[in-house]
Structure 1
């Protein structure tokens, strides 16, 4: 992936990002390309927050991957910063190309650059292939997560 560029997402990238979010069984249930308004509102909120990094991977002029990196200040671990990687997606045509690894490596490097002492992520319990992928990249399944819909 020699011509790969990982850069901050732009408003014009939203249709491609949402399409990737919707392109799996879980995303198909919760995402919609019919109305991009809620995504545009969310994008503006993310773009205004210096702790949020919504990025895209672009190759050959096409958005082929995305992730969100959030830097969180905290008191634990002696006041360490931590980062959270979310919404990692690779376009179906680019899966298996090493792009996912490059995106995660970018997120880890950016976390270090920002002074984070820990990088974490969650993955839906049904995404067993993703779990193996993250473990290969050095992540450990160290916690049990809980969510509550509001």
Structure 2
């Protein structure tokens, strides 16, 4: 099993992973050719040294993905944080420990980047994910807000 930076050639599989659950199916479009918006987003992430789109691969098959964004803060004495977004594990691999291994890797990556805090959000409609994050030691210490702009 390998944890590595995503490549442009992975993009179709990544969008399919994002679309492969009840919430993602409502907001993603995995049809080919992919929308230019996905290509542009990938290029922006790939060129930003504070963003990493990471995949877990086994035998050439993409089994999971997440985006790590490293954010400098003036608060907490000018420290860095790592924000985790876009987490997906292939449906047939959920519940087998792969997500835990992936998060352990991500936690170490944040430590390697000298982050003092790791944070994420998860939709309240994903109770299994919420329990999973709590089992990793994440705490629901804040109330989050979103404002749709579209």
TM-score (normalizing by structure 1)? 0.95
1:137 aligns with 136
C-alpha RMSD of the superposition: 0.8
- Name structure 2 gaps, 5 residues minimum: none
- What per-residue deviation string (whole Å, max 9, x for no partner) do you get for residues 83-142 of structure 1? 101111000111112111111111110100000000000000111100100000010011
Runs (4 or more) in structure 1 with deviation over 6 Å come to none
Stretch deviating more after TM superposition (79-88 or 29-38): 29-38
2:6 maps to which of 9, 22, 25: 9
Hey, what does 2:22 align to over in structure 1? Answer: 25
Which moves more between the two structures, 95-104 or 119-128?
95-104
Distance in 2 of aligned mates of 1:68 and 1:57: 12
Instruction: Give 5+ residue unaligned stretches, structure 1.
Output: none
Residue aligned with 2:23, SS: helix
TM-score by length of 2: 0.95
Alignment match, 2:41: 42
SS in 2 for 1:141: coil
